[in-house]
């Protein structure tokens, strides 16, 4: 059983709510991207010097605060041992700078990237907007990242434990460089994966970001098959997953599920941000004065939740539950995590919800999941996957 920690919790959560909460309660004020960069700068140094006295002590306190260990939360999927089903979604740690410490935040896994072969600046700023009232965000970052070679140096510098010896799983998420044409996309993905494979417990083919022109065309079954075939030719190819968009129609989703099964893909991640405005059309972005409909970019957070569940359900049906699914989009509570798992996701990921709710979201979800397992008489989390049992 997980120990009840509620009494002494949660220093990190309290700090976050007190200092960051008021900033996140408004759309304007401190720029969302600047805030992220500041956080990443601190996390980067912390990860590099994580064994130094003082820093190690601080991380121990954080870990005790946020980690929840329970055998019932563990799963082995595509050869990886997940100590719990909650992961950090791609896009927060795009350069993998904090790879060594994501486990201290209680995550069972972290997906780093999206990384591209060429370093790139991404779209002009501002390009990330908080939508506080809706607990949502709009972003058109455009795969800003330091490139695969720099990510490699950063991961090396952090002295991570070897593959298979880590306390939490690390996935790497790969995209196409903007300057590379769709015709040459395969080589672009392959070059990045080739050098970074020794660090990846699993690798994600990201063909679903709305902010790189033409990228989503790679979701077309023929193109996808060719890309997968190319990546599998590499000497070392980690388990491959595909991350898909929420804006695909049912036929396209079925097509991807079919390719995934035929090509022996390890799993599917659903979903990326949406180009649809999901009922928020009239919403004005304070920084630009334009409506959401007029602004380019992908929507994340609570408005994405219903669509994300639908996609998971459809994938589950199409793959007859044979393929592990990772659910992401609008998860911000134990209930929303449970619903995704019960709809068919073996694992779930957090981004926007984690930003708004703060670090206690991970232990809150894990405790909520354990209590649902108890209430429903499930032995472990795998039993709950695809059970369709509602939150009690
Ligand atoms: C600012 C921002 C940047 C993102 N960057 C990436 C990315 O580089 N690669 C990717 O696969 N997904 C990216 N995502 C999408 C998230 O991983 C996730 O799929 C999406 O936000 C839905 O989850 P959420 O509602 O919990 O945020 C990004 C999301 C946000 C908000």
CATH assignment of the domain containing 367:
3.20.20.70
Q: Is residue 12 part of a domain?
A: no
Q: pTM here? A: 0.97
Q: Is residue 5 part of a domain?
A: no
Q: Is residue 131 part of a domain?
A: yes
Is the C-beta atom of 176 inside 6 A of ligand 1?
Answer: no
Q: Is residue 391 part of a domain?
A: no
Q: Is residue 2 part of a domain?
A: no
C-alpha of residue 329 to centroid of ligand 1, in Å: 8
Annotated catalytic residue within 47, 209, 274, 346: 209
Is the C-beta atom of 302 inside 6 A of ligand 1?
Answer: no
- pLDDT tens-place values along the chain, 392 residues long: 444 444 445 688 999 999 999 999 999 999 999 999 999 999 999 999 999 999 999 999 999 999 999 999 999 999 999 999 999 999 999 999 999 999 999 999 999 999 999 999 999 999 999 999 999 999 999 999 999 999 999 999 999 998 988 989 999 999 999 999 999 999 999 999 999 999 999 999 999 888 888 888 888 999 999 999 999 999 999 999 999 999 999 999 999 999 999 999 999 999 999 999 999 988 999 999 999 999 999 999 999 999 999 999 999 999 999 999 999 999 999 999 999 999 999 999 999 999 999 999 999 999 999 999 999 999 999 999 999 999 99
Is the C-beta atom of 331 inside 6 A of ligand 1?
Answer: yes
Supply the pLDDT for residue 90. 98
Q: Is residue 13 part of a domain?
A: no
Provide the domain limits for residue 248: 19-384
Q: Is residue 201 part of a domain?
A: yes
Sheet of strand 136-139, all strands in order from the earlier edge strand to the far edge: 128-131, 136-139, 298-301
Active-site residue flag, 333: no
Q: Is residue 89 part of a domain?
A: yes
Number of domains observed in the structure of the chain? 1
């Amino acid at each position: 059983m997980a120990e009840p920690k509620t009494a002494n919790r949660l220093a990190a959560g309290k700090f976050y709510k007190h200092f960051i909460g008021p900033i996140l309660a408004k759309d304007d004020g401190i720029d969302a991207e600047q805030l992220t960069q500041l956080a990443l700068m601190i996390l980067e140094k912390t990860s590099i010097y994580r064994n130094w006295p003082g820093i190690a002590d601080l991380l121990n306190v954080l870990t005790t605060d946020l980690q929840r260990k329970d055998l019932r939360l563990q799963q082995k999927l595509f050869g990886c041992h997940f100590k719990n089903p909650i992961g950090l979604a791609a896009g927060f740690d795009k350069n993998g700078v904090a790879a060594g410490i994501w486990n201290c935040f209680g995550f069972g896994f972290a997906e780093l990237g999206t990384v591209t072969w060429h370093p790139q600046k991404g779209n002009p700023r501002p390009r990330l907007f908080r939508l506080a009232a809706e607990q949502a965000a709009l972003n058109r970052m455009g795969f800003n990242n330091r490139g695969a070679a720099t990510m490699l140096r950063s991961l090396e510098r952090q002295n991570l434990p070897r593959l298979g010896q880590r306390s939490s799983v690390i996935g790497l998420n790969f995209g196409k460089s903007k300057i590379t044409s769709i015709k040459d996309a395969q080589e672009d993905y392959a070059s990045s994966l080739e050098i970074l494979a020794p660090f990846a417990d699993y690798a994600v083919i990201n063909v679903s970001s709305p902010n790189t022109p033409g990228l989503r065309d790679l979701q077309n079954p023929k193109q996808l098959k060719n890309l997968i075939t190319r990546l599998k030719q590499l000497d070392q190819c980690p388990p491959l997953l595909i991350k898909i968009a929420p804006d695909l129609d049912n036929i396209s989703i079925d097509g991807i599920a079919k390719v995934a099964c035929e090509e022996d893909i390890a799993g599917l991640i659903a979903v990326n941000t949406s180009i649809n405005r999901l009922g928020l059309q009239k919403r004005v972005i304070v920084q630009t004065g334009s409506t959401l409909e007029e602004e380019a970019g992908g929507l994340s957070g609570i408005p994405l939740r219903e669509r994300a569940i639908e996609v998971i359900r459809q994938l589950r049906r199409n793959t007859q539950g044979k393929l592990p699914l990772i659910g992401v989009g609008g998860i911000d509570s134990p209930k929303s995590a449970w619903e995704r798992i019960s709809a068919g996701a073996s694992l779930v990921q957090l981004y926007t919800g984690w930003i708004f709710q703060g670090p206690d979201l991970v232990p809150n979800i894990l405790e909520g999941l354990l209590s649902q397992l108890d209430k429903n008489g499930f032995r472990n989390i795998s039993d709950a996957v695809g059970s369709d049992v509602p939150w009690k």
